[in-house]
Structure 1
Amino acid sequence: MFSFDYKEKIRFTKAVYYNFRPIPLPRPFKDGTGGMGKFAPEQGCIELYDDEGACAHLSVGRGFVKDILPLILNGEKKSYNEWRETLYWKTRNSGFQSGQAVQVGMLDLMMLDILAQRAGQPLHRFMGATKDWASAYKGGGSILLEDNELIEDMTRYVEEGYTTVKFKVGSDDMERDLRRVEKVRKAVGNTINIAVDANQKWDVETAFKFSELVKPYHLAWFEEPIHAHDMNGIRRLKDMGISVPIAFGESMRIFYAYETYIEKGVDHLQPSVGRMTRMDDLVRIRDIARENNVRFSSGGRIYLNAIFGCLYNENEPVEYHEPISKPVGEYTLYQPEERNGRFYCQTDISGNPQRMNIEKLEKEGLLESKQIFYVEDK
């Protein structure tokens, strides 16, 4: 089974944390269950230094400062896997679906960044990619949009070169959801793939009813129709004969859950880059999807997602969720280039080139504070 196995040792020496004020979205975003989003989720970002002068950059929450920094700024020097294993098992009592578990994945990603910098390679190439681009689909489609606004967005995505588009369903009015599916299909034509995302809104019976009613519109997939942990509910949907491919994965944090998804009949696995406990799980999930002839794609912020997308095939796309990712992208440096349904990653910068634009955040009053942490030698 695939896994990263890097032997080089890392000693962390310093961290600088930039705490953000809420980054406003141009317009509120809503899905079927998540409430009203008026701000991007980003709370801050960190610069993490090692004793050889490399510096990893990543957007992390304040919990990372509280939970992880005390465990790594201790003067110890460990290999990549030693750090991962030590912290992975320290999260045991919090649970492997917890925020602490995700923080271990964030450190994993920053260590990969540091090792790629040492090797003088862009991160995607360091991890084994043989190409510099990722295929993508484009998602958005807030429930708050009027029908005509939804149509405008979906047709614009197609005009930009995307052959798969996705929008939200799971409003309190299923007839409205069905009407919007019909309108989008008529607007984009029959050669474009349409996917919908219910964000776990419905129970098994309601999800099945919706899937029967949207049959004429030939959906590419139906994302999280029911609770993401309702494994027996997923099995029931399959036993009932649901005809629309069902997709799950963004709510899970570890590889083992995806094995269960396959056993229960999920047609499309969708891990999310920013939510995994181990970064090589993304590739392991890709591989079991291939082995079991199920579809694979990955989600998360596009400027990180595209780096991992370079490890995937043309038919294994990354998601570009425009309504939330694009506003955050306005405050990042060195974004991958978006062109005709693909994202092209930089090849002239070692490590992970994506980072928050601290100068711009400060200029616009969004940088609240800066904290510096140094190693505490034992």
Structure 2
Amino acid sequence: MTSPLTSDSPAYDDRIAWVRVSSCYLPLANPISDAKVLTGRQKPMTEIAMLFAEIETRDGHRGLGLSYAKRAGGPGQFAHAKEIAPALIGEDPSDIARLWTKLCWAGASVGRSGMGVQAIGAFDVALYDLKARRAGLPLSKLLGSQRNSVQCYNTSGGFLHTPIDQLVVNAQASIERGIGGIKLKVGQPDLAADIKRVETVRKHLGDHVPLMVDANQQWDRPTAQRMCRIFEQFNLIWIEEPLDAYDFEGHAALAAAFDTPIATGEMLTSAAEHGELIRHRAADYLMPDAPRVGGITPFLKVAAQAEQAGLSLGPHFAMELHVHLGAVYPTEPWVEHFDWLEPLFNERLEIQGGRMMVPTRPGLGLSLSEQARQWTREVAETGTRP
């Protein structure tokens, strides 16, 4: 029988000795357009700014964490992470919640949401990765896993820049690869074109394949009411972000009016914001993004609130992290399959039978690839590496 840890055990004596943060820019093979581009609010996305945190303790235990920014914010996240990283040196890496609070107060003037907590998120994930690796457990097992695989759906083949014929090809290829569901982008100025795209893919796939749509916040309330009513016929898993992300009352009205579930939450950047969304009953599917809310520590707070409210879960992006967090949620979630980040890591997630398998390697089960190092533009280190 293993003896319980005491204050004299080595794990209690270990301390963070070295931290490295790096800013890596992942180029996308093709510029990505969703409804925000077609309505003139944003430009096509050509790269993703990744923030990596690597932490090592005096006894040689290591952890890797990540956060990210799309279109803007990468330099700011890196600058903030670089500024607050010294606050971790000498600390016990097991005190993750306390360290989250310490880092938050270290940058208190920038607030408790947005870019500031997104920088903290990379450290928070790294600390959880370190703790799970030290325990010899996958992150999901450390947190208390409910399942060894999760339902997954594909988004990257359904963007609005994709011609309708190619949409069908992409959807079929995803299903044949073993992905469980398909999400299509909608929300363009031509509502008839949105309807045609969904109708075409639904007809091709048949009624048995799970299908979702995502308007990326581009409808006003009357348009959302009209489109949700029309989309009822397609037996969708959900309609995502039909309204502005902070229009909690509008989303709540849609959720109450229609049989098709409403999904939202990916753009919120704190547990408190998600708490307001839940209080308004503004979603049937909650879609928190762990890096955006500040890491695993606040994500678990969001998930606890969602569970109490009886909501379903569909974490946004970063499948390499969310496959673990989805495995922990009590009811079956959907995890978003994006292969965009795969070049950054030496490992790959396994997909089969419509499900994403939870890695059995310790921690996140990830290591940075040589390609990620080559795409790195800035690095900052603090402390002394053992």
After TM superposition, the structure 1 = structure 2 runs for residues 111-126 of structure 1, keeping only pairs within 5 Å, are 111-126=127-142
User: What is the aligned partner in structure 1 of residue 216 from structure 2?
Assistant: 199
Check conservation: 1:158, 1:188, Cα contact below 8 A: no
Comparing 209-218 with 51-60, greater Cα deviation is found at 51-60
After TM superposition, the structure 1 = structure 2 runs for residues 179-328 of structure 1, keeping only pairs within 5 Å, are 179-238=196-255, 241-265=257-281, 266-312=283-329, 315-321=332-338, 326-328=339-341
User: What is the aligned partner in structure 1 of residue 91 from structure 2?
Assistant: 77
User: What is the aligned partner in structure 2 of residue 16 from structure 1?
Assistant: 20
User: What is the aligned partner in structure 2 of residue 26 from structure 1?
Assistant: 29
**Secondary structure of 1:330's partner?**
helix
Match for 1:52 among 59, 62, 66? 59
CA distance in 2, matches of 1:98, 1:195: 27
CA distance in 1, matches of 2:44, 2:351: 25
Check conservation: 1:58, 1:355, Cα contact below 8 A: no
Q: CA 1:291–1:361 in structure 2 vs 1: closer, same or farther (change >3 Å)?
A: closer
The superposition leaves residues 225-245 of structure 1 with CA deviations (integer Å, 9 ceiling, x where unpaired) of 111111232244356x34432
Question: Structure 1 unaligned runs (5+)?
Answer: 1-6
CA distance in 1, matches of 2:298, 2:379: 32
After TM superposition, the structure 1 = structure 2 runs for residues 141-156 of structure 1, keeping only pairs within 5 Å, are 141-156=158-173
Q: How far off its partner does 1:198 sit? A: 0.6
CA distance in 2, matches of 1:19, 1:259: 31
2:366 matches 1:350: no
2:377 matches 1:360: no
CA distance in 2, matches of 1:90, 1:16: 18
Comparing 335-344 with 70-79, greater Cα deviation is found at 70-79
Q: CA 1:132–1:291 in structure 2 vs 1: closer, same or farther (change >3 Å)?
A: same
Question: Structure 2 unaligned runs (5+)?
Answer: 1-10, 68-73
Q: CA 1:320–1:213 in structure 2 vs 1: closer, same or farther (change >3 Å)?
A: same
Match for 2:183 among 158, 161, 166? 166
2:40 matches 1:40: no
CA distance in 2, matches of 1:264, 1:243: 18
The superposition leaves residues 102-147 of structure 1 with CA deviations (integer Å, 9 ceiling, x where unpaired) of 2222221111112222222222212222543232222231101111
After TM superposition, the structure 1 = structure 2 runs for residues 65-104 of structure 1, keeping only pairs within 5 Å, are 65-74=78-87, 75-78=89-92, 79-104=95-120
Moved runs in structure 1, 4+ residues, more than 6 A?
none
Q: CA 1:190–1:238 in structure 2 vs 1: closer, same or farther (change >3 Å)?
A: closer
CA distance in 2, matches of 1:66, 1:109: 18
**Secondary structure of 2:29's partner?**
strand
The superposition leaves residues 71-95 of structure 1 with CA deviations (integer Å, 9 ceiling, x where unpaired) of 3425442432321222234444423
Residue 360 of structure 1 aligns to which amino acid in structure 2? Q
CA distance in 2, matches of 1:64, 1:10: 28
User: What is the aligned partner in structure 2 of residue 4 from structure 1?
Assistant: none
CA distance in 2, matches of 1:70, 1:344: 37
The superposition leaves residues 324-349 of structure 1 with CA deviations (integer Å, 9 ceiling, x where unpaired) of xx2320231122222222222332x3
CA distance in 2, matches of 1:197, 1:100: 27
**Secondary structure of 1:135's partner?**
strand
Check conservation: 2:270, 2:292, Cα contact below 8 A: no
Q: How far off its partner does 1:38 sit? A: 4.4
Residue 26 of structure 1 aligns to which amino acid in structure 2? A
Q: How far off its partner does 1:96 sit? A: 2.6
CA distance in 2, matches of 1:217, 1:345: 31
Comparing 306-315 with 294-303, greater Cα deviation is found at 306-315
How high is the TM-score relative to the length of structure 1?
Answer: 0.85
Check conservation: 2:150, 2:332, Cα contact below 8 A: no
CA distance in 1, matches of 2:366, 2:234: 38
